[in-house]
Amino acid sequence: MPIILRLDRVMADRKMSLNELSEKVGVSNVNLSKLKTGKVSAVRFSTLEAICEALDCQPGDILEFQKGDPRP
């Protein structure tokens, strides 16, 4: 997958636990855990906005595009 989720890194930088983020964002621990481990195929903008608000970050701090190998 060319989109890499860096939520775990941002949370560690802010010293915020999954439980604390879950409470601030209003999203279950299970769903945040899936997002943190990259086991999701979509993220709602409202969720991304709430996460950025809680972590005081930009979407680009959480999401990273990694160029794949060009296919012939």
Confidence (pLDDT) at 9: 95
Confidence (pLDDT) at 38: 87
> What are the structural domains of the chain?
3-57 (1.10.260.40)
Q: What is the mean pLDDT of residues 49-64?
A: 96
Helix (H, G, I), strand (E, B) or coil at 33: helix
- For the chain, give the mean pLDDT: 91
CB atoms within 10 A of CB 60: 10
CA distance 68 to 20: 34
DSSP per-residue string spanning 16-30: --HHHHHHHHT--HH
Answer yes or no: is pLDDT of 71 > 60: no
Confidence (pLDDT) at 2: 84
Confidence (pLDDT) at 70: 59
Q: What is the mean pLDDT of residues 47-67?
A: 95
Confidence (pLDDT) at 69: 63
